[in-house]
Amino acid sequence: MTVLDTSVPHVPVLMVLGDHEPPADVALPAGYRFATWEPRFREPWVRLHVLLGQLPSFEEGLAYFEQTYETDPEALERQMILVVDEKDELAGTSSLWRGDHFGEPRLRVHWVGVDPAHQRRGLARALMLRTIRLFDELVPSGEPPLYLTTQTESWPACGMYLKLGFVPYVGPMPTGFAAEPATFGEKNDEAWRIIREKLEESGRPRPKARR
């Protein structure tokens, strides 16, 4: 979403979508529109996430994109969500993609990001709402629920996720989550303490946990 807040310790966390109202039509600010996936967006997508500190380099980002998204072109076209500006240039992106953190394939929110030049205009919220709406269309029962992974450095984004109906995951360590089982609970509690304190300092909502 924004550049990571490296002043806080890095701890990865999970959030799960709880009860929510199905999003209606998602409005964008004037000058922006949702766009369908085209190959021309590949390199801008990588550059955006390198700029946000979410990918280490352009070359590694291209390799990641190829190994992840381009292995399933139909899903890429259906589940990549893009916002472009009035110049038809990429301003922000999200996707609904397979994740294995819970030991079996299920859909997750993947790679949400907005270019710093276009932030604070409601694009991230619109991207997330469109992602949730797509999930509701693909998984009408809502089971298993949509989830996302994030980290303490992204605490401002956690505040937005909370407002959209996501809650912290605080149960046993999921089978496919990259952490130490013996210390997962302790580190997870510490991570949410950090996020809660940062949100309180900024006047944003406090997280309520889900097991």
Cα separation, 31 vs 190, in Å, equals 41
Q: Which residues contact 45 (CB under 8 A, 6 or more apart)?
A: 65, 90, 93
Within 10 angstroms of residue 109's Cβ, the number of other Cβ atoms is 26
Pairing state between β 147-151 and 106-114: parallel
Q: Kindly tell me if the per-residue pLDDT of 196 is higher than 80.
A: yes
Q: What is the dihedral of CA 20, 3, 123, 29, to 10 degrees?
A: 150
From 118, 108, 140, 137, select the one nearest 32 (Cα to Cα).
118
Using one digit for the tens of pLDDT, what is the confidence trace for 99-149?
Answer: 999 988 999 999 999 999 999 999 999 999 999 999 999 999 999 999 999
* pLDDT averaged over every residue in the chain: 92
Among 16-25, 66-75, 202-211, name the one with the lowest average pLDDT: 202-211
Using one digit for the tens of pLDDT, what is the confidence trace for 46-62?
Answer: 999 999 888 999 999 99
pLDDT band at 2 (very low <50, low <70, confident <90, very high): low
Pairing state between β 33-35 and 106-114: unpaired
- Cα dihedral sign, 178-72-81-89: positive
- Cα dihedral sign, 33-39-42-44: negative
How far from 145 is each of 6, 167, 181, 194, CA to CA, in Å? Answer: 30, 11, 23, 25
Q: Which residues contact 37 (CB under 8 A, 6 or more apart)?
A: 76, 77, 80, 82
**First vs last C-alpha separation in the chain:** 26
Instruction: Respond yes or no on whether the N-terminal peptide bond of residue 144 is cis (omega within 30° of 0).
Output: yes
What mean pLDDT is predicted for residues 26-32? Answer: 93
The helix (run of H) or strand (run of E) holding residue 42 is helix 42-51
Q: Kindly tell me if the per-residue pLDDT of 151 is higher than 60.
A: yes
